[in-house]
Amino acid sequence: MLSRLSLVFVGLASFWQAHAAAPDVVEHLRVPPGFSVQRLVQVPGARSLALGDGGTLFVGTMRGAGEVFAVQTPAGGAPVVRSIAKGLRMPNGVAFRGGALYVAEPQRILRFDGIEQRLDDPPAPVVAVADLPFKGMQHAWKYLGFGPDGRLYVPVGAPCNICDEPGFGVILRMNPDGSGREVFASGVRNSVGFTWHPQTGEFWFTDNGRDLLGDDTPPCELNRAPRAGLNFGFPFCHGGVMADPEFGKLGRCENAVAPVQALGPHVAPLGVRFYTGQMFPAPYRNQVFIAEHGSWNRSKGAGKTGHRISLVRLEGQRAVAYETFMDGFLDGDEALGRPVDLLVAPDGALLVSDDKAGAVYRISYRAPH
């Protein structure tokens, strides 16, 4: 029997199968045979994704009016998009737990209690955490997620391209009320996406490599943290092998945790997700999907990197392949869209947010006949 949550997404998928979207970036997107992509819903500046217990899709943003959106679909009807908060400061990160939506600003984490029962009249937020480290807006936007341990994880990016600032370049974890705060991982330049392995419960995260060392160095990273207290090398080492020309004296690459997979240079990896559904074929299950937001500063003629959904194939904890799963966000050097976050829907589809096109896409699979 389908759960209420599954029924919401089945209804949403059925609506978009019956009502084709107007021509947009979707017509340019390419996926492997058997897969298809639809524009699920338009959400201005769509960034981080979180799913409520009742099937509401919550969507954070980073620019514009500082809004957080909620998407619901009545039975047999069109998706309804509500703005449930405005005037927030870069409300990028969203997470849901215990009937409450948590929203991250650069210095605060807000909590909207009982939000799914009050979408038409949202409650005033409670400030759950008021004092996150802050030193300017560079890399200040936050990602949020609750781990299997019930604790809230939040990164604190370096307030620079490359620097050594105590208290920054870390991933924190804490109780939902902000108590018990500790540094879970250090040496992390700017993570805007993390997840947990569905079988081991281990923490995996993306990290954005530094700029101004050329078009093709250093790599961005996919990392694994099997326990607290590990250092991943920033600012002295990049990709596990490259000493920084300015800060290399602060440490040795052999003393830093190397990435599971060195990603492309300047691909700007953000959302990362293990595929835990049953819709996709078996070779995709428990494999790693990454939303590569895409480069912004490669020199003219070098070509943009990222702007795709990549797939890292694993054997155990070891990466054995790094490949494109979905592309088409680029038309030459023009970005038609920029993927941000990923979420496995209850029906097994993979949802992808795009802050440039202001959309959430649904990737589904049907075996070719």
What Rg, from alpha-carbon coordinates, does the chain have? 20
SS3 label, residue 20: coil
* Span of 20-24, 154-158, 199-203 with lowest mean pLDDT: 20-24
pLDDT bin (cut points 50, 70, 90) of residue 319 is very high
Kindly state the average pLDDT of the residues 124-144.
98
Tell me the per-residue pLDDT of 167-209, one tens digit each, with 9 for 90 and over: 999 999 999 999 999 999 999 999 999 999 999 999 999 999 9
d(CA 99, CA 6): 18
Tell me what pLDDT residue 301 has.
76
Full DSSP string of 335-352: ES--EEEEEE-TTS-EEE
Q: Would you state the pLDDT for residue 5?
A: 53
**Main-chain dihedrals φ then ψ at residue 237, nearest 5 degrees:** -145, 140
Cα–Cα distance measured from residue 25 to residue 297, given in angstroms and rounded to the nearest whole number? 23
The pLDDT of residue 108: 98
- Using CA atoms, how far residue 113 sits from 110, 246, 338, in Å, is 10, 46, 31
Domain, as residue range, for 193: 4-365
- As a whole number, mean pLDDT of residues 78-106 equals 97
Cα dihedral sign, 367-341-359-50:
positive
Is the model's pTM score more than 0.85? yes
CA neighbours closer than 13 Å in the CB half-sphere of residue 4: 8
Could you tell me how many helices (H) and strands (E) the chain has, helices first? 1, 29
Residues in the chain: 369
As a whole number, mean pLDDT of residues 264-280 equals 98
Burial 308-333 (b: 16+ CB within 10 A, else e): bbbbbebeeeebeebeebbbbbbeee
**Mean of per-residue pLDDT scores for the chain:** 93
Place of tokens 């939303």: 291
CB neighbour list of residue 54: distance below 8 Å, 6 or more residues apart: 4, 5, 8, 116
What is the Cα–Cα distance from 180 to 365, expressed in whole angstroms? Answer: 42
CATH label of the domain that carries residue 33:
2.120.10.30
Instruction: List the one residue out of 177, 153, 47, 174 whose CA is nearest residue 100.
Output: 177
Dist. CA 248–CA 244, nearest whole Å:
5
**In this predicted model, what pLDDT tens digit does every residue of 40-66 receive, in sequence order?**
999 999 999 999 999 999 999 999 999
Q: Report the domain count for the chain.
A: 1
Which residues neighbour 315 within 8 Å (Cβ) at sequence distance 6 or greater? none
Q: With 80 as the cut, is the pLDDT of residue 35 above it? A: yes
Write b or e for each residue in 229-240: b if 16 or more Cβ atoms lie within 10 A of its Cβ, otherwise e.
ebbbbbbbbbbb
Q: DSSP label at 30?
A: B
CA atoms within 13 A on the CB side of 133: 19
pLDDT for 16 equals 40
